[in-house]
Structure 1
Amino acid sequence: MTKFDRQSFSLTGQVALITGGAHGLGKYYSIALAEYGADIMVVSHSQRGWTDIRQAVESYGQRISFLQQDITVPGAADKAVATTLKEFGQLDILVNNAGIQIRNDVLDFKDEDWRKVIDTNLNATYYLSHAAAKVMADQKHGKIINIGSMQSYRAGKRIFPYAASKHGVVGLTKSYADALAPYHVQVNGLAPGYISTDMTKPLQEDAVRGPEIAGHIPNGEWGVPTDLMGPMVFLASSASDYVTGVMLPVDGGYLLR
């Protein structure tokens, strides 16, 4: 970026591929990027949320397309990138958002659950980044944004593969940032803190864990999904061209304590 102005945050004319971009926090990433001008390619395991996210993206005058795909199967990453190029003719932003979490006690954890989480959260992130990098390196620009977690920094005594995968995402982010810097491709991460959603509502209302988590946040308040939208736009835009290899916590200061 040679100068800074309001257009530094514009994504007009760009295309973003977002895994899990139709529901959960992923839909907020899709909406944020569309609001700033990007067309959206959603890759998801099911068609959940497709109608709503289509309406939201098109309300900003942007195009959206979908691919129903299990991202853990061989060849899924190449298919996702190829479909994006077929639908839109380009790929400028990759958001590796799709992820799963499985809980169990340490002595009862199942091998298949370990493999399922690692395949989704870490292996798929690598393969998608690798497929996208080939396109971005050739065009000499691009943004890869990996979604981390508070468990990118902390232990998870009942979510072992999740914590391992999110620690791994940090390492992958840094390594790819270093490797792709000569091609003017920036690779960063976004680590949501405790965000109030339908999925986290039981945790928030838990008599023990709810107050414990809130007490760990300096202002005592959980975040909301829209808190993540500004940081996502920043990392996807030319405003962050000199930022790479960073996992940005959006946690209200949770990690301070």
Structure 2
Amino acid sequence: MTRFDLTGKTAIVTGAGRGIGKALALGLAEAGAEVAVVARTQKDLDETVQAIEAKGGKAYPITADLTASGAAEQVVAQTVEALGGLHILINNAGMNIRKKANEVTEEEWDRVVDLNLKASFFMCQAAGKIMCEQKYGRIVNIASVAGVVAMRTGIAYGSSKAGVIQMTKVLALEWSKFGVNINAIAPWYFRTPLTEALLSDEEYLQEILQRTPSGRIGDVEDLVGPAIFLSSDAAAYVTGQTISVDGGMSVYGF
């Protein structure tokens, strides 16, 4: 359907070197977008670019630490220069430190919140300046069900992702009148390099599955459709929303 077609659009996907970000970058490229892929590791970026180009897409790699001062503005400027514009931002870069609340250090709190929330905001801000001026834009923030329901560990992560959800609402309130739609996706457990160790623990895996009505762990491909929808004209009247992609987990919590 043409409403889901991203041909002629340019996009940024952060955290695109592996896992969810790589899958989303590939998905947007397959839908027709030219994609600037952002990550800290050049090797991972090269593999993402090669995967996109192997399927006939166009990708531009940007190596960046998004927690560094001014990084967001530089990434956006490089994208516009290389691809000729900016229409879509997928804020995916993130991290987690799983500890009980009374064990978290100030340095660990700052690391998680600086990347998951602060860097996401300043990416939104840098992209939003262009999008508001051109009266068109789509921003998709990758949140988490941990920002909606309480988890037993990961206090900094859950707090940061709750912040992402609220940030999404506030930005939608401010920018929708300029034709810029901002939404979020809240995933549950997905098989990625970051969750591999956790999900290899059979007891932990079974506990997760018991709390997932669909009875399975998510595959990163399950996120591609929602991301394309929110990035496309099919979602022209959708803004300020968070879509849980969680196999039904958030229906009753954990």
Farther off after superposition, 245-254 or 189-198: 189-198
Q: Aligned runs of 1:99-178 on 2, under 5 Å?
A: 99-178=94-173
Task: Find the aligned partners of 2:88 and 2:214 in 1 and give their Cα distance.
Answer: 33
Q: Offset at 1:108?
A: 2.2
Identity percentage of aligned residues: 38
Displacement after TM superposition at 1:213 (Å): 1.0
Q: Which moved more, 1:99-108 or 1:146-155?
A: 99-108
Specify the alignment match of 1:251 in structure 2. 246
* Residue in structure 1 matching 2:179, options 162, 181, 184: 184
Query: Aligned letter for 1:96?
Result: N
Q: 2: distance between equivalents of 1:120 and 1:199?
A: 15
Change (3 A) 1:110 1:227: same
Q: What is the CA distance between 1:74 and its match in structure 2?
A: 0.9
Q: Post-superposition shift, 1:43?
A: 1.6
Residue 235 of structure 1 corresponds to 230
8 Å CA contact 1:23–1:48 kept in 2: the answer is: no
- Deviations 1:203-252 (Å, cap 9, x if unpaired)? 22324321111011113111111111111110111000110111111111
The reply on whether 1:86 has 2:81 as its aligned counterpart is: yes
Tell me the distance in 2 between the aligned counterparts of 1:201 and 1:129: 30
SS at match of 2:184: strand
1:180–1:186 contact (8 Å) kept in structure 2: yes
Asked if structure 1 preserves the Cα contact closer than 8 Å seen for 2:100 and 2:155, the reply is no
Instruction: Letter of the 1:221 partner, please give it.
Output: R
Indicate whether 1:224 and 2:219 are aligned: yes
Q: Residue type of the partner of 2:228?
A: V
Checking the alignment, whether the CA contact within 8 Å between 1:94 and 1:145 is kept in structure 2 is yes
Q: Would you say the 8 A contact 2:187–2:246 is kept in 1?
A: yes
Aligned residues: 252
- SS of 1:208's equivalent in the other structure is helix
More deviation in 59-68 or 70-79? Answer: 59-68
* 1:37-116 alignment, distance < 5 Å: 37-116=32-111
Cα distance in 1, alignment partners of residues 12 and 194 from structure 2: 24
* Counterpart-to-counterpart distance in 2, 1:145 and 1:188: 5
Give 2:155's aligned amino acid.
Answer: F
Contact 1:145-1:235 at 8 Å conserved across structures: yes
Gaps of 5+ in 1: 1-5
Distance 1:59 1:205 in 2: 31
Tell me which stretches of 4 or more aligned residues in structure 1 moved more than 4 Å.
none
CA deviation after TM superposition for structure 1 residue 66, in Å: 1.4
For 2:196 and 2:122, the matched residues in 1 are separated by 32
Mapped partners of 1:186, 1:219: distance in 2: 30
| Equivalent pair of 1:22/1:30 in contact (CA under 8 Å) | no
Distance between the aligned counterparts of 2:182 and 2:49, measured in 1? 27
